[in-house]
Chain A
């Protein structure tokens, strides 16, 4: 047991390589918009499977193509995937992902429209049969105890309000601190939400190189925004923030970065870059849409997401259970099949934040061991892969 009588382990699925999974999904992965509809048909035939698709996948070039292919390989071999059925337009693209699955020692099968002579029904029947075989196989995997240090958690905030910065985000930060103290990894992202806190984050960096990378990531995102004619600092914080009590941009950003706690920053990762095995808090340089940000973080190997919110939103990731936390009393009371953890007692002045940390950490471990989140129970399952440039 760790402090506060928390278990020191969870029940996860051992993989042939890499960290254990907290889920044992059979994933249907569609590599391009050409085969997405067929992949959706396979999922409808075989309920209980997970579908992740990209409606792009061809005609991508340069950095955008490199990123897309990396993300497909990373999603296919995610720890929470027990087996993967890869569906793509051609054998070459399928093999690119298949090679990664092979290297990871993960059961898989691949099908292409090319091999099916461009006939969707042939492809659907072949793929559905493979899904059945893989489901039968992965059902033999059993949950076994794994230490807390095997966990990596992605932390996101979205649809935030005045309660987020003072309760839900710092609470998530407390859990991140607990996880790192026990040898695990936590990460958060959305670079432009750090605006105004670059020096503070840099001062917390483990090495001067990490500090430099944090500052350069912020500069790069500001340059992207400026090139599109968007000034991140103009009118930020906005009138709604002001009405809620937020005065300055630093204050707003500090409320956002509170979700990592105030611990040392071990590294800065590019979007989707694999997490190192060293314990610590990591930052990831991503855009600010929650689904894009979460998908990028999960591609790094994080098995669980904590999603803090103010007013709520139904989004749940496909690859990882998404634990939704709010301290907004109205949201917690009304969104009964959405909010996994109600921290509104802290905003109501009835509890201290510290009193809720063990309960949230416990929920993380229960979820890791198989307890469903509300978004899983509701069937929310979306991944959103960033585009880094236009198709040709």
Chain B
């Protein structure tokens, strides 16, 4: 035990429950990031968003979920900026990751053809 006080912002009072289970970083985003492991059928609670989509699959903490239906070839937006292109249709509430999202840099490199 020690008596020193720190200027640290304490994490949060013990036992205080999660107000939000996912975060949308910018109002323009069509994806949100899970703040805890979320299960299919759950509806994530997202600040400044009335109703998050019902999840169609499990989403691990730190991973992205689609907030709306995203068509193949459409831009995926996070931080209010394009982070890549949907390589197949992504349903609202689905996991957005390597299987359905490709970065623009990687795409450009591949379109240049083999080296």
Measured CB to CB, the residues of A under 8 A from B are: 162-163, 166, 170, 195-197, 200, 233, 242, 244-245, 247-251, 254-255, 258, 262, 329, 332-333, 339-352, 356, 359-360, 363, 366, 371
Contacts and interface: CB of A to CB of B under 8 A. Distances in A.
Among B18, B60, B83, B109, the most chain A Cβ lie within 10 Å of the Cβ of: B83
A235 B67 CA distance: 28
Contacts of B61: 162, 245
Contacts of A359: 9
Interface in B82-101: 82-84, 96-98, 101
A346 B36 CA distance: 12
Given A247-B64, A250-B82, A351-B12, 17 more contacts: A245-B63, A248-B83, A248-B84, A248-B103, A251-B78, A251-B83, A251-B84, A254-B78, A254-B81, A254-B83, A329-B11, A342-B10, A345-B12, A347-B35, A348-B18, A349-B19, A350-B17
Given A342-B8, A344-B11, A248 B106 contact: yes
A167 to B, nearest CB: 8
Contacts of A329: 11
Given A349-B18, A349-B20, A249 B106 contact: yes
A333 B11 contact: yes
Contact of B9 (A248, A343, A349, A352): A343
B43 interface: no
Contacts of B81: 197, 200, 250, 254
B74 to A, nearest CB: 14
Given A166-B25, A258-B79, A349-B21, A251 B103 contact: yes
Contacts of A251: 78-79, 83-84, 103
7 contacts: A166-B23, A247-B83, A254-B83, A341-B8, A342-B9, A344-B11, A350-B19
Contacts of B34: 245
B82 to A, nearest CB: 7
Interface residues of B, number: 43
**Lowest 9 CB-CB distances: which A-B pairs, in order?**
A248-B103, A245-B62, A162-B62, A245-B63, A349-B18, A251-B83, A349-B20, A350-B12, A349-B35
A360 B7 CA distance: 10
Contact of A250 (B12, B83, B97, B109): B83
A378 to B, nearest CB: 14
A164 to B, nearest CB: 11
Interface string B29-59: 0000111100000000101000000000000
B64 A245 contact: yes
B73 interface: no
B105 A196 contact: yes
B12 A233 contact: no
Contacts of B17: 350
A233 B101 CA distance: 16
Contacts of A248: 83-84, 101-106
A348 B21 CA distance: 8
A233 B106 contact: yes
Given A233-B109, A251-B78, A349 B36 contact: yes
Contacts of B62: 162-163, 166, 244-245
B11 A348 contact: yes
B79 A356 contact: no
Contacts of B11: 329, 332-333, 342, 344-345, 348, 350
B90 to A, nearest CB: 12
